[in-house]
Amino acid sequence: MIIKAEGTQEDDTMSSMEGGVSPSPSRIFELHHCCSNRVATLTQKVIAELIGTYFVVFAGCGSVAANKIYGSITFPGICVTWGLIVMVMIYTVTHISGAHFNPAVTITLAIFRRFPYKQVPLYIFAQLLGSILASGTLALMLDATPKTFFGTVPVGSNGQSLGAEIIITFLLMFVISAVTTDDRAVGDFAGAVVGMTIMLNVFVAGPVSGASMNPARSIGPALIIHVYKGLWIYIVGPIIGAIAGALAYNFLRSTDKPPSEETTGPSSEAVNRAT
């Protein structure tokens, strides 16, 4: 029935054009929108993840490298850069691939049946490749060395950095679970909310662990610059934190109440009492 409706709309529009009547711009937009291919292939999804991860790492790690080499970005600038690039890329490719850019997010979504298991290896491969390519680009463009390493290394003890990564990735996945998997949340602002969460996490945990939250973000620079100190922290910590964050939100979302009784705002009874 959907195909038939689209065909009817196209026929009506073409008939009006043949009859000398120009269709309205909104009519043309609706026709183009309904006739476009809304289903992305797996290849398109993988390429979108590769490109998205590339630019997330290029901009985020690039700000770290530029600050170490030229000293012109500042720590607040690095935090804002990470938040902005994640937000921009989410709005750019989320309708194609879901905009994971993070193996910990992909693994967690698969565990909670929000993502097909069979696509996990391809997504992780694309994310790692995107990070490696971006890191290679930065290393060539900025002549980065181990002294200007733009990856993540523990500033304090391994335990402190591991704890920081678990906590901030918990928060990140908790927020992602809310804005992308719960129909009651306002999904239109998912990109902005996730981007701001990244920015806040970098502000808080950046001085402690580097605030990776993303195994791909740490593995790419480590492989290119050959700095592997504490790398396991940035693989284990984000995965544990992401799974815990999603588990916590799924517990909060679970309810036996019908939709009409769920908490979506002030109840009508409370509003009546107030007025």
pLDDT tens figures, 175-215: 999 998 887 877 688 899 999 999 999 999 999 999 999 99
For the stretch 34-57, what's the b/e string if a residue is b when 16 or more beta carbons lie within 10 angstroms of its beta carbon? eeeeeebeeeebbbbbbbbbbbbb
| Nearest Cα residue to 242 out of 165, 186, 178 | 165
CA-CA distance, 224 to 135, in Å (whole number)?
6
Q: Which DSSP category does 226 fall into?
A: T
Q: Angle at which helices 42-70 and 120-142 pack, to 10 degrees? A: 30
List the chain residues with pLDDT less than 50: 1-20, 22, 25-36, 258-275
Residue carrying structure tokens 């997504």: 123
Angle ∠(126,111,54) on CA atoms, nearest 5: 20
pLDDT per position as a tens digit, 214-248:
999 999 999 999 999 999 999 999 999 999 999 99
Q: Hey, CA dihedral for 97, 102, 106, 112, is it positive or negative?
A: negative
User: Is residue 206 within 8 Å of residue 217, measured between CB atoms?
Assistant: no
Nearest-angstrom CA–CA distance, 221 and 227? 8
- Pick among 3.40.50.300, 1.10.760.10, 3.30.70.360, 1.20.1080.10: CATH of 42-253: 1.20.1080.10
For residue 251, give the nearest of 112, 114, 158 by alpha carbon: 112
Amino acid identity, position 272: N
Indicate the average pLDDT of the chain: 84
Cα distance between residue 49 and residue 257, in whole Å? 37
Per-residue tokens: 133: 């390519």
Distance separating alpha carbons of residues 169 and 238, to the nearest angstrom: 5
